Amino acid sequence: MAIDILYFAWVREAIGTDAETVTPPAEVGTIADLVTWLSARSPGHAEAFARPDRLRAAIDQEFVALDAPVAGAREIAIFPPVTGGSGCAG
Amino acid sequence: MRGMRDIRVQTGPFDPGTELERLEGMGGGAVASFTGLVRGDGGLTDMTLEHYPAMTARAMARIADEAEARWPLLGLTLIHRHGPLVPGERIVFVGTASSHRAAALEACHFLIDWLKTAAPFWKRERYADGREIWVEPRAADDAAASRWGREAKA
């Protein structure tokens, strides 16, 4: 099934686009599987996804862990850890 | 307890005085606030805040839900800016109104800790020497959020 994938921050910059629609094969069961599968699409994808421990994800606008199943997802976002707020220490 | 709630994500500036007056008008007797500013440390010239619009509103509403479930609030204001910002500009405002000062203060503290770790914003900083970097999250931010008793994420 087709899934809209969104990218933010340096993930978006490395891949060179902020969104794409993909149809992963059946063996892609989790976000981590999806990241591995997407890595083969281009050198930019491979660069963005080289360090899965630096990635976070959301399914249909809710944060999820990378081992979350992708079944039924309409929109999956992949991005770095968030850094909102004012940046003040403590 | 659910009071008056105002959540905004905007590119333009905001006026803390105006926001505090609104909260003062809610009849609670106690108003607390936090204003976050862009710091110019290390030769920072400007920054750009990117966000995930479809998710930001939901994430901020979720954080507000949590605060309202924990403290008796009459009013709650969350404002987070995105887009380009320069040192000295206000980025974020959190305001709370309650009949109890502890509730207003604690809820305000909770809200800013959680906004930093549970709302999808990313900062890109530019420096006078030409460097451009995406801000890395700090373990201290996760620790600040998690001390409120729920696991910090993203």
In a domain, residue A14? The reply is yes
pLDDT score at B143: 79
Q: Is residue B42 part of a domain?
A: yes
Q: Which residues from A are below 8 Å from B51, CB to CB?
A: 84
For residue B120, give its domain range. 4-146
Domain assignment present for residue B151? The answer is: no
Q: Are A45 and A7 in contact (CB under 8 A)?
A: no
**Confidence class for position B133, pLDDT limits 50, 70, 90:** very high
CA-CA-CA-CA dihedral for B148, B151, B152, B154, to nearest 10: -160
CATH code for the domain in which residue B86 is found: 3.90.1170.40
Residue stretches of chain A with pLDDT short of 70: 87-90
Confirm whether B58 is domain-assigned. Answer: yes
| pLDDT tens readout for residues B8-66 | 999 999 999 999 999 999 999 999 999 999 998 889 999 999 999 999 999 999 999 99
Residue of B nearest to A66 (CA): B154
Q: Do the beta carbons of residue B63 and residue B109 sit within 8 Å?
A: no
User: Containing domain of residue A26, as a range?
Assistant: 3-79
Tally the domains of chain B: 1
| Residue A55 counted as domain residue | yes
- For residue A89, is it within any domain? no
Residue A35, φ and ψ in degrees, nearest 5: -60, -45
ipTM score: 0.92
pLDDT grade for B154, boundaries at 50, 70 and 90: very low
With beta carbons under 8 A apart, name residues in chain A contacting B122.
8-9, 79-80, 82-84
What element of type H or E holds B98? strand B90-98
Residue A70 is assigned to a structural domain of this protein: yes
Please judge whether B141 and A79 are an interchain contact, meaning their C-beta atoms are less than 8 angstroms apart: no
Q: Confirm whether B102 is domain-assigned.
A: yes
Residue B87 located in a structural domain: yes
For the ranges A46-55, B108-117, B133-142, the lowest mean pLDDT is seen at B133-142
Average pLDDT, chain B: 92
Indicate whether B6 pLDDT > 50.
yes
When divided into structural domains, chain A yields a total of: 1
Confidence at residue B103, expressed as pLDDT on a 0 to 100 scale: 97
Q: Is residue A67 part of a domain?
A: yes
Q: What's the CATH code of the domain at A45?
A: 3.10.20.30
Whether B18 maps to a domain, the answer reads yes
| A8 domain-assigned | yes
pLDDT value, residue B2: 58
DSSP conformational letter for A40: G
